Structure 1
Amino acid sequence: MAKRNLPPLNALRMFEAVARNNSFSLAADELYVTHSAVSHQIKQLEAWMGKKLLNRHSHGTSLTSDGQQLFTTCIQLFNTLENCVDKIKKQSESMMLTIGAPSSFMANWLIPRLEKFEEKYPEVSIKLMTCNDLKMLEKNQVDCLIMSHTQQETIPKNITSIPLLEDRIGPVCTSNRAKELQQPQDVLKHHLLHTQSNQNAWAMWTKQYGLNIENAKHQRHFDHLNLMIEAAASGLGIAIAPEILVEKELLNQRLVAPFGFIHCGSFFSLLIKNDDLNHHSIKTLVQWFIHEIQPQT
Structure 2
Amino acid sequence: MKMRNLPPLNALKMFEAVARNSSFSLAAEELCITHSAVSHQIKLLESWMGVKLLQRHSHGATLTPAGQILFTTCVQLFNSLENCINDIQQKPINHGITLGAPSSFMANWLISRIESFEEKYPEIQIKLMTSNDFKLLENEQIDLQILSLNRQVQLKSDLVKIHLFKDKIGPVLSSEKAHNITQPSDLLTQTLLHTESNKNAWSFWATQHQVKLNEAKNQRYFDHLNLMLEAAANGLGIAIAPEILVEKQILNGQLIAPFGFTDSDAEFTLCLKQNCLKNSNLQTFIEWIQYQVSID
The verdict on a shared fold, with TM-score over 0.5 as the criterion, is: yes
Describe the SS at the equivalent of 1:288. Answer: helix
In terms of mean alpha carbon deviation, does 176-185 or 257-266 score higher? 176-185
Q: CA deviation at 1:238?
A: 0.7
> In the aligned structure 1, how far is the partner of 2:164 from the partner of 2:190?
33
Residue 250 of structure 2 corresponds to 250
The alpha carbon displacement at 1:92 in A equals 7.2
User: How far apart are the structure 2 equivalents of 1:266 and 1:238?
Assistant: 21
1:249-270 CA distances to partner (integer Å, 9 max, x unpaired)? 1111111111000111101100
Identity score, percent: 51
Structure 1 gaps of 5+ residues are: 1-90
1:167-186 residue pairs with structure 2 within 5 A? 167-186=167-186
8 A Cα contact 2:162 2:271, kept in partner: yes
Equivalent-residue separation in structure 1 for 2:144 and 2:230 (angstroms): 29
The amino acid of 1:247's aligned partner reads: E
- Cα distance, 1:163 vs. partner? 0.6
Distance of 1:93 and 1:273 partners within structure 2: 20
Distance 2:227 2:94 in 1: 36
Alignment of 1:115 onto 2:111: no
CA distance in 2, matches of 1:168, 1:134: 22
AA partner of residue 113 (structure 1): R
Q: What is the TM-score normalised by the length of structure 1?
A: 0.67
**Which residue does 2:80 correspond to in 1?**
none
Q: CA deviation at 1:135?
A: 2.2
**Corresponding position of 2:281:** 281
1:160 aligns with 2:131: no
Q: Residues 16-42 of structure 1, C-alpha deviation per residue, up to 9 Å, x if partnerless?
A: xxxxxxxxxxxxxxxxxxxxxxxxxxx
Secondary structure of the corresponding residue to residue 110 of structure 2: helix
Q: Which amino acid aligns with 2:114?
A: L
Who is 2:225 aligned against? 225
Question: Does the alignment pair 1:234 with 2:229?
Answer: no
Distance in 2 (CA, whole Å) between partners of 1:172 and 1:196 is 17
Q: Hey, what does 2:260 align to over in structure 1? A: 260
| C-alpha displacement of 1:148 | 1.2
Q: CA–CA distance in 2 between the matches of 1:205 and 1:138?
A: 32
Deviations 1:109-152 (A, max 9, x none): 11111111111211111000001221211211001101111121
Alignment partners' CA distance in 1, 2:146 and 2:253: 27
Aligned counterparts, 1:1-297, within 5 A: 93-94=94-95, 96-295=96-295
Secondary structure in structure 2 of the residue aligned to 1:259: coil
> What is the Cα deviation at residue 179 of structure 1?
2.0
User: Could you state the TM-score of these two structures normalised by the residue count of structure 2?
Assistant: 0.67
Tell me, in whole angstroms, the C-alpha distance in 1 between the residues paired with 2:151 and 2:199. 20
The answer for unaligned runs of 5 or more in structure 2 is 1-91
Cα distance in 2 between the residues matched to 1:134 and 1:236: 34
In the aligned structure 1, how far is the partner of 2:181 from the partner of 2:152? 35
Larger radius of gyration: 1
Displacement of 1:294 in angstroms is 0.6
Give how far 1:207 is off: 1.0
CA distance in 2, matches of 1:117, 1:259: 34
2:291 & 2:133 partners in 1: Cα distance? 26
2:94/2:125 contact within 8 Å kept:
no
User: Shift of the alpha carbon at 1:93?
Assistant: 4.0
Q: Aligned pairs, how many?
A: 206
Output the amino acid matched with 1:148.
S
Partners of 1:180 and 1:281 in 2: CA distance: 51
